[in-house]
A and B are shown apart, each in its own frame.
Chain A
Amino acid sequence: MTETTQAPIEPSGAVQLDPVLDAMVESMIVIDEQGLIERINKATTDMFGYTTEELVGQSIGLLMTGPDKSHHVDYLERYRKTGKKRIIGKGREVQAQRKDGTKFPADIAVGEVRSGKLIRFVGLIRDLTEHRQVEEQALRQREEMVNVSRLSMMGEMAAAMAHELNQPLTAIANYAAASIRLLKQNKDSHEDILGALEEIVSQTHRAGEVIRRTRNFTKSGEAINEGTSLKKIAAQIRSLAELDTKANNIRLNWNILDDLPPINVNSVQIQQVILNLIRNAVDAMQDTPPDKRIITVRAKLTAPQQIRLEVRDEGSGVSENAAKDIFNTFFTTKTTGMGMGLAICRTIVRTHGGELGFHNNNRYTSSEGATFFFTIPTQVNR
């Protein structure tokens, strides 16, 4: 069979096969044992830009590029000799090439057709270009969201940092002003001036320390950090979180076990999740009385291969009404909220193979605050 002309009408009256094959969106190619093309459907000519005549009798390698060009023929060769299936029966992604030389990603699934002694292979090829574009766009969008939220969070952190910097700056200004006054008065105030100058030096270092703590966070990081420790990642943002909690009169308890197994994560993203959860907890405690203003960050092993980190607050809790929506993008109950935090956190945690969730501290009332948590799989030994 060399062309896609008439197929005999089945005596049973079943549908003719060729119109069906030609109606398929996927390219279908039948090749012989040597990998030479025997028959193609219409989608194939559309997809690759060759005519049927140009393709039939050619090696299947003609439609591929790069290493895939020769491999397919090799696979068939090997299969014939050893009976070892490499791609038969499985799907595989390849770089395909059109007649005009343009390349595109394609998915190819090959099946075996035996009729008597004769072996043929039938390949179904799907153009992945569009699929890839959608995927890439989604990825870009997510990265953008992550960036936006990191920026907005950094804005909030910057405000907290400004507050923290104000303390040493105020002290320095006071000490300096006092020294000037003392010097002008020309009295014997040597000791006071000396003390003030020493304080100025140490307050300057204090200010430097605030800046140093925040600098780590602003460094962007894209890569996955292999075999890192959650304790370490969390510790890097602890002082940043404390800026936030302290500015809101909240005590921050920190309890992350020492002996947690290593994890493979994008550290910056996981830090962002933790900071976001703390930020929300802070927001939720605006009306909490001073003696109950406590946030607890805790992490432990909850399964042999799973770490769980939780952020517990004593805030407003999550109302039954809000509960079903809080992970949706743009859902917020705050006047100045963006409603992106939890949606982004969930995306980040899920790309790491974990899950993000929450529960109210008291099952029967939201008034005792909430606990938000996420899980992260530990590094699996391969």
Chain B
Amino acid sequence: MSVEKSRVFIVDDDDAVRDSLCLLFKTVDIEAIGFESGDKFLLEFDADWQGCIILDIRMPGTSGLEVQKLLSERDCTLPIIFITGHGDVPMAVEAMQLGAFDFIQKPFRDQELMDRVAEALSSNEENKEEVLQKRHVTERYATLTPRETEVMQCVVKGQANKVIALDLEVSQRTVEIHRARVMEKMAARSLAALVRMSLLLEN
């Protein structure tokens, strides 16, 4: 996974709103890029992007809600903060149900927006860690032999070596050897760590 730096992606059809938001982020040294329509954004969107999205809920052409749906179809995990007008609360609620990170009503206080963006960025950061970790675990898991995989599945269920040996019809000693190999290959320092990894793999 390439290490993209965090940016704020602003999708708003209103030139002045978009431009002023970019300037606002510039003052806190956050890089912001503006897109004048949902379609433009979708066209350029890259799954490796990091940061968060600020999305106007009402736009001509593809609306904010539709952009959100299309992004999630493309497995975008960037947190989305919707900008809404006065009467858009029902739409904003729908957006939240669809997994939006937050929404903020126009006009807003700059600090309020900055705080939400900061939260969104750190949520993305955590998310990024998790994604990275998952990828590593998956890679390691793939190096296990079929027998080792079997042993790992039994181990994370909490079965004792003796039980596993009976189940797999091998000696207890063999199970111990496989088990040590699994811990080593998965780089798991404890049984708890291995269980956590197996949970990651399940998701």
Binding site for B on A (CB under 8 A): 159, 162-163, 166-175, 177-178, 181-182, 185, 192, 195-196, 199, 202-203, 206, 246-247, 249, 251, 290
Binds A, one of B13-21, B41-49, B138-146, B188-196: B13-21
Q: Given A163-B87, A290-B66, does the pair A170, B17 have CB atoms closer than 8 Å?
A: yes
A sample of 25 cross-chain residue pairs with beta-carbon separation below 8 angstroms, ordered by A number, consists of: A162-B86, A166-B85, A166-B86, A166-B107, A167-B14, A170-B108, A171-B20, A172-B20, A172-B107, A173-B107, A173-B108, A173-B109, A173-B110, A174-B110, A175-B20, A178-B23, A178-B26, A181-B28, A196-B20, A202-B16, A203-B16, A249-B59, A249-B61, A251-B60, A290-B62
Residue of B nearest to A245 (CB): B60
Cβ contact of B106, chosen from A169, A182, A206, cutoff 8 A: A169
Docked pose: A195 CA to B22 CA in angstroms = 13
Residues of B within 8 A of A175 (CB): 20, 23
- Asked whether B63 is an interface residue with its Cβ less than 8 Å from the other chain, the reply is yes
Given contacts A167-B17, A174-B110, list 6 more A-B pairs with CB under 8 A: A162-B86, A170-B17, A171-B14, A175-B23, A199-B16, A202-B16
Task: Please tell me if the beta carbons of B107 and A249 are within 8 angstroms of each other in the complex.
Answer: no
- Asked whether B134 is an interface residue with its Cβ less than 8 Å from the other chain, the reply is no
Docked pose: A182 CA to B23 CA in angstroms = 10
Q: How far is the CB of A122 from chain B (nearest CB, A)?
A: 68
Looking at chain A's contact residues, is the secondary structure mostly helix, strand, loop, or mixed?
A: helix
Q: Given A173-B107, A173-B110, does the pair A192, B26 have CB atoms closer than 8 Å?
A: yes
Residues of A within 8 A of B107 (CB): 166, 169-170, 172-173
- Asked whether B128 is an interface residue with its Cβ less than 8 Å from the other chain, the reply is no
Residues of B within 8 A of A171 (CB): 14, 16-17, 19-20
Binding site for A on B (CB under 8 A): 14, 16-17, 19-21, 23-24, 26-28, 58-63, 66, 83, 85-87, 106-110
List the 4 closest A-B pairs by CB distance, nearest first: A174-B20, A177-B110, A171-B16, A181-B27
Residues of A within 8 A of B16 (CB): 167-168, 171, 199, 202-203, 206
Q: How far is the CB of A338 from chain B (nearest CB, A)?
A: 18
Docked pose: A25 CA to B103 CA in angstroms = 73
Task: Please tell me if the beta carbons of B24 and A246 are within 8 angstroms of each other in the complex.
Answer: no
Docked pose: A173 CA to B111 CA in angstroms = 11
Docked pose: A249 CA to B17 CA in angstroms = 18
Docked pose: A46 CA to B23 CA in angstroms = 86
Cβ contact of B23, chosen from A172, A174, A202, cutoff 8 A: A174
Q: How far is the CB of A56 from chain B (nearest CB, A)?
A: 75
Residue of B nearest to A162 (CB): B86
Docked pose: A246 CA to B27 CA in angstroms = 32
Residue of B nearest to A166 (CB): B106
Residues of B within 8 A of A178 (CB): 20, 23-24, 26-27, 110
Task: Please tell me if the beta carbons of A163 and B110 are within 8 angstroms of each other in the complex.
Answer: no
Docked pose: A219 CA to B110 CA in angstroms = 37
Residues of A within 8 A of B62 (CB): 290
Cβ contact of B17, chosen from A159, A162, A163, A174, cutoff 8 A: A174
Docked pose: A251 CA to B61 CA in angstroms = 9
Docked pose: A202 CA to B15 CA in angstroms = 12
Residue of B nearest to A293 (CB): B60
Task: Please tell me if the beta carbons of B85 and A163 are within 8 angstroms of each other in the complex.
Answer: yes
Docked pose: A192 CA to B23 CA in angstroms = 8
Q: How far is the CB of B200 from chain A (nearest CB, A)?
A: 39
Q: How far is the CB of A155 from chain B (nearest CB, A)?
A: 12
Cβ contact of A185, chosen from B27, B63, B108, cutoff 8 A: B27
Task: Please tell me if the beta carbons of A247 and B14 are within 8 angstroms of each other in the complex.
Answer: no
Task: Please tell me if the beta carbons of B20 and A290 are within 8 angstroms of each other in the complex.
Answer: no
Docked pose: A178 CA to B23 CA in angstroms = 6
Residues of B within 8 A of A199 (CB): 16, 19-20
Docked pose: A195 CA to B27 CA in angstroms = 14
Residues of A within 8 A of B66 (CB): 290
Residues of A within 8 A of B14 (CB): 167, 171
Docked pose: A290 CA to B24 CA in angstroms = 32
Residues of A within 8 A of B24 (CB): 174, 177-178, 181
Docked pose: A171 CA to B110 CA in angstroms = 11
Residues of A within 8 A of B87 (CB): 159, 162-163
Q: How far is the CB of A15 from chain B (nearest CB, A)?
A: 73
Between B20, B21, B58, B86, the greatest number of chain A beta carbons within 10 A of the residue's beta carbon is seen for B20
Residues of B within 8 A of A246 (CB): 60
Residues of B within 8 A of A163 (CB): 58, 85-87
Residues of B within 8 A of A168 (CB): 16
Residues of B within 8 A of A174 (CB): 17, 20-21, 23-24, 110
Residues of A within 8 A of B106 (CB): 166-167, 169-170
Residues of B within 8 A of A162 (CB): 85-87
